[in-house]
Amino acid sequence: MVSGAGKRQRLALRIAAVPMGLLALSCLYPIFFAVNNAFKTRDDYMRDRFGLATQPTLDNFVQAWTRAHLNEYFLNSVIATLGAVILLMVVSSMAGFALASLRFPYRRFLFAVILSSLMIPVQVVLVPFMRTMLALNLVNTHIGLILSYTAFFLPFSVYMMTAFYSGLPRELIEAARIDGAKLLQVWWHVMLPLGMPALVTLAILNTLSCWNDILISLLVMQKHRTLMVGISALKGQYSDQIPLFTAGIVIAAAPIVVLYILFQRRIVSGIAVGAVKG
């Protein structure tokens, strides 16, 4: 059964595993680099930048957290991310319920309107977007950032929820299509709990998008920096204090890394679905 060709193929795959392994290590190296240097003292880093931290210190984290104001930035990012993720779940679940289960005029058209905005990234509307934010008094407010994130990450979420609710058994949808006055309760008591698998995936993916964002928060939050804006400012200020800077990087990346470790499968499958269908 083991033919010559099969043997040769297995050898070829084994050889390919070497560069692929190196590539895999390169994917882990930057975060190792950041963590390792974050525990070094400044002299430690000067003396040996490649080696492991010999006398690990937490001082860099303390300094970054307090003196470099990462505590404030962290809080701003948490507020904006949490607020936007919750709002995205509510708004996309409501819209998905209406689009998938209810009958009304212009249903397809309204769905197309929401999806078409995928073609309008923030760069394309940068100037009028800023003017809108100024006109609505939303610049430098948390609610402004939350609304912006929701608007820019919404179409994909609505698409996912519409697709999810469309896949539910018809009887459930018929059960939901009762007397108009009760529809809000139907959504709250039936559709929201049923949608949880999709909503949790969306919550995780949207957390990544909001937490990692730089351009929107750079525009909206000029006074109260988010973590990513803070880190990019830190880069200029502390360019001669690499251990302190890398401690900041570790603090900013930690929530995402934890999320990835906890929900790796959900993230990967959610993005695969989104990429192939969206």
Instruction: Kindly state whether residue 166 participates in binding another protein, applying the rule CB under 8 A.
Output: no
# of chain residues touching another protein (CB under 8 A): 105
| Residue 128 vs 197, nearer CB to another protein | 128
**For residues 17-56, which are near another protein according to CB under 8 A?**
17, 20-21, 23-24, 26-28, 30-31, 33-34, 49-50
CB 210 within 8 A of CB 153: yes
Site string for another protein, 187-206 (x = CB under 8 A): x-xx----------------
Instruction: Kindly state whether residue 58 participates in binding another protein, applying the rule CB under 8 A.
Output: no
Pick one of 7, 12, 197, 237: the residue that binds another protein (CB under 8 A).
Answer: 12
Least distance in Å: CB of 189 to another protein? 4
Instruction: Kindly state whether residue 82 participates in binding another protein, applying the rule CB under 8 A.
Output: no
Least distance in Å: CB of 155 to another protein? 7
Pick one of 82, 91, 139, 163: the residue that binds another protein (CB under 8 A).
Answer: 91
**Segment lying near another protein (by CB under 8 A), choices 52-60, 67-75, 102-110, 195-203:** 102-110
**For residues 214-253, which are near another protein according to CB under 8 A?**
214-215, 218, 228, 231-232, 235, 242, 245-246, 249, 252-253
Instruction: Kindly state whether residue 2 participates in binding another protein, applying the rule CB under 8 A.
Output: no
Least distance in Å: CB of 158 to another protein? 6
CB 245 within 8 A of CB 234: yes
Residue 192, both tokens: 């929201």
CB 229 within 8 A of CB 221: yes
Instruction: Kindly state whether residue 182 participates in binding another protein, applying the rule CB under 8 A.
Output: yes
**DSSP states of the chain as a string?**
---HHHHHHHHHHHHHHHHHHHHHHHHHHHHHHHHHHHTS-HHHHHH-SSSPPSS--SHHHHHHHHTT-HHHHHHHHHHHHHHHHHHHHHHHHHHHHHHHH---TTHHHHHHHHHHGGG--GGGGHHHHHHHHHHTT-TT-HHHHHHHHHHHHHHHHHHHHHHHHHTS-HHHHHHHS--GGGHHHHIIIIIHHHTHHHHHHHHHHHHHHHHH--HHHHHH-SSS--HHHHHHHHHHHTTT-HHHHHHHHHHHHHHHHHHHHHHHHHHHHHHHHHHHH-
The dihedral of CA 25, 31, 37, 39: what is its sign?
negative
**For residues 121-140, which are near another protein according to CB under 8 A?**
121, 123-132
| Residue 82 vs 183, nearer CB to another protein | 183
- Four-point Cα dihedral 19, 20, 24, 26, nearest 10: 30
Least distance in Å: CB of 199 to another protein? 15
Least distance in Å: CB of 173 to another protein? 10
Instruction: Kindly state whether residue 94 participates in binding another protein, applying the rule CB under 8 A.
Output: yes
Least distance in Å: CB of 114 to another protein? 5
Least distance in Å: CB of 262 to another protein? 12
